[in-house]
């Protein structure tokens, strides 16, 4: 009987913010069912949203109960940060202030600095110091930076922002172009900001082209597409989905969040890397320090390491610098609001 007892893990506490929204609606089932943290890992789900959304949240709680998921030990809906951020093992910060029509980028930044400063402070005060924090709400990189600066005793490495959706988009575009399944394409890279300046880079990608391994460029065999339409398609994909669906990406965003968190928990496959926005400090790519910037990373024991020493040509250099410049400007604007 003892063997059985030792197999029952302690539940982990996982927070999702913006939990009444549509990304969360696509995300919560996958987490509660064990797709992210493992099939034998019980979970306490903490769902945070703003007060007017509490009735909606109650409906989500009912549905989670009605899924009858064996790993889901408890669901805690709340509008209070001190409840939401208590003793967390993982925090997925989806909720943010969306851009409203006619809104200046500056106003958007100001509203989000206030939100992510509050959440960073709540992490600092209430969460475990080992908590892994994933920021999804836009502008994700800068929101993530503000949260990490507001939680100084939690290691900067524990914070990341979502560029996995862009990574998956890039991987899929190449796969469709070559006519292979998406898992036949690996090691694409998203550099920089989760915005339209991001740089989807295929210079190091490897494609298994019907049994034959080759470089992304050789497999696609169309350099002008790879340096043109491919990049703009990935950069503009979010806008294209909104135009078509009248709502932003939810299913694909939720899937990317699951991929990102599962890779943090269980590591990346040997010889493969993924993209995520992480704290830039002393890297070999000349990216300015003190930004959340998307790099290629390998993950082991819940710790990421930037893939170093990849050759960067002039074309890539220009694109990497461009997205860095946008992030520096975003950061500097955000920091003027942080003191306020």
Binding residue per annotation — 237? Answer: no
* Residue 138 annotated in ligand binding: yes
Question: Is 99 annotated as ligand-binding?
Answer: yes
User: Three-state DSSP class for 276?
Assistant: strand
- The size of the chain, in residues, is 340
Q: Is 274 annotated as a binding residue?
A: no
Between CA 241 and CA 309 the distance in angstroms is 35
Is 169 labelled a binding residue? Answer: yes
Cα(160)–Cα(280) distance, rounded to whole angstroms?
11
Q: Are 300 and 271 in contact (CB under 8 A)?
A: no
131 is in an annotated binding site: no
194 in active site: yes
Name the token pair of 284: 């070999």
- Residue 270 labeled ligand binder: no
The catalytically annotated residue of 194, 203, 204, 260 is 194
Radius of gyration for the alpha carbons in the chain, expressed in angstroms and rounded = 20
- Helix, strand, or coil here: 277? strand
Q: Which residues share a beta bridge with 133?
A: 91, 159
Four-point Cα dihedral 22, 24, 26, 29, nearest 10: -150
Per the annotation, binding residues for substrate are 99, 105, 138, 169
Annotated binding site: 49, 99, 105, 112, 136-138, 169
Catalytic residues, by residue number, are 194
**Residue ranges for the binding site for NAD(+)?**
49, 112, 136-138
């Amino acid at each position: 009987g003892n063997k059985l007892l030792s197999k029952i893990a302690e539940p982990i506490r996982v927070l999702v913010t913006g939990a009444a929204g549509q990304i969360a609606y696509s995300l919560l089932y996958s987490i509660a069912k064990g797709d992210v943290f493992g099939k034998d890992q019980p979970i306490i789900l903490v769902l945070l949203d703003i007060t007017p959304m509490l009735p909606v949240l109650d409906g989500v709680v009912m549905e989670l109960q009605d899924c009858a998921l064996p790993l889901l030990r408890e669901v805690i809906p709340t509008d209070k940060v001190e409840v939401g951020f208590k003793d967390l093992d993982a925090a997925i910060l989806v909720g943010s202030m969306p851009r409203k029509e006619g809104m200046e980028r500056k106003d958007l930044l100001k509203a989000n600095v206030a939100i992510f400063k509050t959440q960073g402070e709540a992490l600092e005060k209430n969460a475990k110091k080992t908590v892994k924090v994933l920021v999804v709400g836009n502008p994700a990189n800068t929101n993530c930076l503000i949260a990490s600066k507001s939680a100084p005793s939690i290691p900067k490495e524990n914070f990341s922002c979502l560029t996995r959706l862009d990574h998956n988009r890039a991987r899929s575009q190449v796969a469709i172009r070559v006519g292979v399944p998406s898992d036949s394409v690996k090691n694409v890279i998203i550099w920089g900001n989760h915005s339209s300046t991001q740089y989807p880079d295929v210079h190091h990608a490897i494609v298994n082209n019907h049994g034959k391994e080759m470089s992304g460029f050789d497999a696609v065999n169309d350099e002008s597409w790879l340096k043109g339409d491919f990049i703009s398609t990935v950069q503009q994909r979010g806008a294209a989905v909104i135009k078509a669906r009248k709502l932003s990406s939810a299913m694909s965003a939720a899937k990317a969040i699951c991929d990102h968190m599962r890779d943090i928990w269980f590591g990346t496959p040997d010889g493969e890397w993924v993209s995520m926005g992480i704290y830039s400090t002393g890297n070999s790519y000349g990216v300015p320090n003190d930004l959340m910037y998307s790099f290629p990373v390998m993950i082991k024991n819940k710790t990421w390491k930037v893939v170093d020493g990849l050759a960067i040509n002039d074309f890539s250099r220009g694109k990497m610098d461009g997205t860095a410049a946008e992030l520096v400007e975003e950061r500097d604007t955000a920091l003027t609001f942080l003191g306020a």
